[in-house]
């Protein structure tokens, strides 16, 4: 039985990227007419056929790249997201290959070995990486690449993110509804797009209540250079009056911050209320249930896989940023005052 011709085969024969082949065959912009015709002629010559219906046997290899700093905890958020992604990919006949990028490899711009060109049909990056590393991948990696849980205006990749801005906005307003007016934020700004987006949602809620952000109440939770979380090292505890509540950029930060407060002799929620973001439970987390904003991982994975299939089948679809909304979950970490 003759081998099925793929876009990767056409790309290899012409010395171009699979993305270029996909754009040409689906009539998208970004390909010269001369190259488009070469691609179409070769596809016809070799008997390439696009599949628009057989979604139950999409046998593709999908590489997933995650920074090691996000996987420090056994029950990590991205570890769980990868499990969901791998399971859903398997149901459509595809399989995944995970490559974990160490901090040293990221800093030294080491090209990914496992998911390098030719080894997989598509690459998914879960969680933002250093800007210079993303630039390196942009220059060298010809495989179609997709971002999950972050977006980057420089590289203009298809991205699927949670509704960080409105999620934090909803959480902060929830605290106002519970009687809180002195509210702080925990998260090192600009270290990840989601931390910054969530801060902006927090700030908008304060602005709408006529309250200015107190810079002393915006606490760092991680190193701004290597982005490794370390509450003890990075938090500069405010002097004088304390907030009655804090919005934390994620549940892991919230759980560590609750322990930090406990070490200072402060109780949650009796003395200070705390909300998180993600709705992800850590085995070494806080002993109290954390009020949070749930991230719909299942939907994020579904949308990302759908975009990958559209691209690999050369189909037209709406590219760009896709935002997946979640919802508030109330637990015991907030006190009404």
The model's pLDDT over 42-57, given as tens digits with 9 standing for 90+, comes to 888 888 766 443 444 5
pLDDT at site 74: 52
**101, 139, 140, 300 from 110: Cα distances, Å:** 9, 13, 11, 28
pLDDT tens sequence across 266-293: 999 999 999 999 998 654 556 799 999 9
CATH of the domain at 24: 1.10.260
Q: pTM value?
A: 0.79
* Same domain flag for 13 and 88: no
Structurally, how many domains does the chain consist of? 3
Asked if residue 53 belongs to a domain, the reply is: no
- The pLDDT of residue 142 is 83
- Give the Cα separation of 294 and 251 in Å (integer): 10
Q: Are residues 31 and 135 in the same domain?
A: no
C-alpha pair distances (Å), 182 with each of 168, 176, 276, 288 = 16, 9, 17, 22
Shared domain for 177 and 100, answered yes or no, is no
| Residues of the chain where predicted confidence (pLDDT) is lower than 70 | 1-4, 26-30, 49-58, 73-74, 117, 281-286
Helix (H) or strand (E) holding 99: strand 95-101
331 in a domain, yes or no? Answer: no
Determine the structural domain holding residue 218 and report its residue range.
164-295
92 and 153 share one domain: yes
What is the enclosing helix (H) or strand (E) of 126?
strand 122-126
CA dihedral of residues 77, 82, 84, 88 (deg, nearest 10): 160
Residue 2: inside a domain, yes or no?
Answer: no
pLDDT at 12: 86
For residues 209 and 136, membership in a common domain is answered with no
Indicate if the alpha-carbon torsion angle 138, 72, 267, 223 is positive or negative.
negative
Same domain? 237 vs 89: no
The verdict on 132 and 186 lying in the same domain is no
Residue 291 falls within a domain, yes or no? yes
Give a yes or no: residue 151 inside a domain: yes
Kindly state whether residues 185 and 288 are assigned to the same domain. yes
In a domain, 171, yes or no: yes
Q: Is residue 332 part of a domain?
A: no
Question: Residue 303: what pLDDT?
Answer: 97
pLDDT for the residue numbered 50: 60
Structure token digits, residue 119: 């080894």
Please check whether residues 31 and 128 belong to one and the same domain: no
CATH for 283: 3.40.50.2300
Please report the pLDDT score of residue 242 as a whole number. Answer: 97
Neighbours of 114 (CB within 10 A): 13
In a domain, 125, yes or no: yes
pLDDT given for residue 289 in this prediction:
94
Is 269 found in the same domain as 241? yes
- Both 173 and 288 in a single domain? yes
Instruction: Indicate the SS3 state at residue 328.
Output: strand
């Amino acid at each position: 039985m003759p081998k099925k011709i793929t876009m990767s085969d056409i790309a290899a024969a012409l010395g171009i990227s699979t993305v270029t082949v996909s754009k040409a065959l689906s009539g998208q912009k970004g390909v010269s007419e001369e190259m488009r015709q070469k691609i179409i002629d070769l596809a016809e010559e070799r008997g390439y056929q696009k599949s628009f219906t057989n979604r139950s046997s999409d046998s593709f290899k999908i590489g997933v790249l995650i920074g090691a700093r996000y996987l420090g905890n056994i029950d990590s958020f991205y570890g769980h997201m990868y499990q969901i992604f791998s399971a859903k990919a398997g149901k459509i006949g595809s399989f995944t290959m995970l490559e974990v990028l160490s901090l040293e490899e990221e800093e030294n711009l080491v090209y990914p070995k496992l998911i390098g060109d030719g080894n997989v049909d598509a690459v998914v990056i879960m969680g933002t990486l250093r800007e210079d590393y993303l630039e390196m991948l942009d220059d060298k990696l010809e495989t179609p690449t997709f971002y999950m849980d972050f977006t980057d205006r420089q590289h203009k990749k298809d991205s699927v993110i949670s509704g960080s801005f409105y999620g934090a906005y909803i959480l902060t307003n929830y605290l106002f509804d519970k009687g809180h007016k002195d509210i702080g934020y925990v998260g090192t700004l600009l270290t990840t797009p989601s931390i910054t987006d969530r801060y902006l949602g927090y700030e908008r809620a304060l602005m709408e209540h006529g309250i200015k952000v107190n810079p002393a109440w915006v606490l760092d939770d991680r190193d701004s250079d290597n982005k490794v979380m370390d509450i003890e090292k990075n938090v500069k505890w405010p002097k004088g009056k304390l907030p009655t509540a804090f919005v934390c950029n994620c549940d892991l930060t919230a759980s560590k911050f609750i322990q930090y407060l406990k070490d200072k002799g402060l109780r949650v929620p009796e003395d200070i209320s705390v909300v998180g973001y993600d709705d992800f439970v850590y085995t070494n987390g806080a002993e109290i249930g954390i009020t949070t904003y749930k991230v719909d991982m299942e939907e994020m994975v579904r949308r990302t896989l759908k975009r990958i299939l559209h691209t690999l089948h050369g189909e037209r679809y709406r590219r760009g940023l896709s935002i997946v909304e979640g919802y508030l979950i109330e637990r015991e970490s907030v006190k009404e005052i």
